[in-house]
Amino acid sequence: MSNIEKLGFIGLGVMGGRMCANLVKKSGMPVFGYDIDAANLSKLVEQGVQAAGSIREVMEQADVVFVCVPGEPQVRAVALSDDGVVAHARPGQTIVDMTTATVEINREVAAALAVKGADFADAPIARGMAAAQNGTLAITVGASPEVFDRIKPLLLNMGTEISHCGEVGNGQVMKLMNNMLVFQNVSALAEAMAIATGAGVEREKVFEILSKGSADSFCMRNHGKCITADTYPDNQFSTVYSLKDLRYALSLAETVGVDAAGAKVVEQRFLEAIDKGYGKFYTPVIYKLHEQDS
């Protein structure tokens, strides 16, 4: 990384802010941050981030620029607007988009940056807010081998599992499949709790016992706790955001000709939960749909 001296970070929200803080603490390099919400930026300045007043300012300062925004529309605006990332990119610069978005937007941005002589990697993140805080994210990367080798030491400041998935867009493919499986697991957990408690098993026993057998999983041990306690935070990955990611996965499934029937069922449950006012709550809140049915 001898030619990388300054870093940039665009998007300092719930996930990006925590990731940027770890980059400041561990990279040993100046980090220039920008967010449309001045309050988000102010919090990071207190932790050592150098405030930038615009995307342009970040691009002018940084050799490698990370982006973490809510989804595809925001990526399109940040990257492809008249005053966005591509407009101010320069030869030799590297842009790393850590947003969960679509494969198509990643490849579109990569192509536009290539015209400017800049490199691109998609590097979406998994494992949630606590992992972003602790620097233990799982990161799936789509990039050329050269770009992957260049950015991996930086990504290790934010995550512990850094996987090279192949060409640009493939990191996004694997993140979408990760989320699709998680969402279907959460739906299955909600069903299992509803059935077991309906049949007379105490709520506290259901996942405790299931986690001791072959049904055990990351979702069982983490999302299951929310259902057991009947507590669904509104500061973690919401049902609205989950629906967004699931629809990206369903769009990809349609593109490659796969009928993702199980994921479509979960889509309908997310829509029902949102309709009932649960959209801002953590995804396991879909269990509430079963409670109302009982």
- Helix residue ranges per DSSP H, 28-169: 38-45, 55-61, 72-80, 85-88, 103-115, 129-134, 145-155
Determine the Cα–Cα distance for residues 45 and 12; give it in Å rounded to an integer: 11
211-250 exposure pattern, b = at least 16 Cβ within 10 A, e = fewer: eeeeeebebbeebbebbbeeebeeebbbbbbbbbbbbbbb
Q: Is 116 a catalytic residue?
A: no
Catalytic residue among 26, 152, 175, 288: 175
Residues 6 or more apart whose Cβ sits within 8 Å of residue 50: 30, 31, 32, 33, 61
Active site residues: 175
